Copies of this chain bind each other. A is one copy, B any other.
Amino acid sequence: MISNIPTMTKVHNFSAGPGVLPAEVLKEASQAVINFNNLDLSLLEISHRGKDFIDVMEEARSLVKELLGLPSGYSVLFLGGGASLQFGMVPSNLLRANGHAAYVNTGVWASKAIKESKIIGNTKVIASSEDKNFNYIPKGFSIPNDADYLHITSNNTIYGTQYQEFPDCSIPLVCDMSSDIFSRKVDGSKFALIYAGAQKNMGPAGTTMVAVREDLLGKTERKMLTMLDYSEHIKADSMYNTPPVYPIYVSMLTMKWLKNNGGLSWIEKLNNEKAALLYNEIDRNSMFEGTTEIEDRSKMNVTFVLKNAALEAEFAKWAKEANLSGLPGHRSVGGFRASLYNALPIESVQALVDVMRAFEAKLG
């Protein structure tokens, strides 16, 4: 039974990813390792070509379509290799030999996507926030009409920024949604291709979801390895080779949990409440400040620092004593980062806010 809102855990898990998953999902996922579907066999030791796993794969693919509101004409894949492999697969499949691709650089992951695209073909960075250590989302840039696609990164885990609105775009829009997929309502039909590593809101590490408009494929005439070719995976119903069975299963359970509780409208409201609770405290509290432009603040990864950097180690100690796990910021930004993924209960955010208040009362 997968239902109910996120429940409290003993440890408040603010990990940036792999991130917190719903307790109900973990319970069912644990059981499947011993006995799956009452087969008296573990999910880990049955054929992926049998009906039991094919049903899992088809349900996972169908839940993505439903949650993202994808119209017909899209195929959904669950692949191995991580989103980092998609950095190369996207240009391999969409960037024509004489064409070029447009990228927006909003941080480490966008930069890696750009690097791989440059290995494949002509790649132009049309906007970047590198000038301010990626603490904002570029806006108002003009998009070349003749590019094969525009690639953006919807949420930037390390820097704590997020597109609040997606660019209006007449060319195919490709989006890396690894760190905020299924966190808010999106109109999936605006995108030509969406990809996301599972290990934040979708499931555990080990699989990457790709949703792609089929009419865009087969146009590059590029010779590529079969495993890099979306068309081959589509032809094989996402089973060209043995898929990462367990990560896909847990992703399916997590999407079912989301759907059964009210889907993206439900989770968006919860995520807005969680983010508001924490950002309000950061802005109110005399000891802390955010690191990003306010209008570009991420609702998934909240980055903040102590105004007095000398107190950082002390706050880290307080946080640890209060069982707040995964808070230290990425080395590129420093300070702290609270990841508020879908399965993090608002009680955990409240626990963090309580510590920030107590810290101010004592040392402010």
B13 touches A45 (CB 8 A): yes
A48 CB within 8 Å of chain B: yes
Query: Looking at the complex, which of A75-83, A99-107, A267-275, A345-353 is the stretch in contact with chain B?
Result: A75-83
Q: Tell me if A81 and B227 are in contact (CB < 8 A).
A: yes
In the complex, 29 of the A-B residue pairs with CB atoms within 8 angstroms, ordered by the A residue number, are: A10-B40, A11-B39, A15-B47, A16-B47, A17-B47, A18-B45, A21-B42, A21-B44, A26-B42, A26-B45, A30-B31, A30-B33, A33-B33, A41-B325, A44-B250, A45-B204, A80-B82, A80-B206, A81-B227, A87-B226, A88-B225, A92-B225, A112-B226, A115-B226, A116-B226, A204-B245, A205-B243, A206-B206, A206-B246
Q: This chain: how many copies in the complex?
A: 2
Q: Which of B34, B40, B87, B244 contacts A80 (CB 8 A)?
A: B244
Check A199 against B13 for contact (C-beta < 8 Å): no
Q: How distant is the Cα of A140 from the Cα of B237 in the complex, in angstroms?
A: 41
Partner of A19 from B31, B45, B246 at Cβ < 8 Å: B45
Q: How distant is the Cα of A11 from the Cα of B205 in the complex, in angstroms?
A: 30
For A40, A119, A242, A325, which residue has the most chain B Cβ atoms within 10 angstroms? A242
When the two chains form their complex, are residues A48 and B84 in contact, meaning their CB atoms are under 8 A apart?
no
Distance in angstroms from A258 CB to nearest chain B CB is 16
The 6 closest A-B pairs by CB, nearest first: A206-B244, A88-B225, A84-B241, A44-B204, A30-B33, A81-B81
In the complex, which of the residues B19, B26, B47, B206 contacts A326, with contact meaning CB atoms closer than 8 Å? Answer: B47
The distance in angstroms between the C-alpha atoms of A9 and B40, with both chains bound, is: 8
Question: Interface readout for A161-198 with B: 1 if CB under 8 Å, 0 if not?
Answer: 00000000000000000000000000000000000010
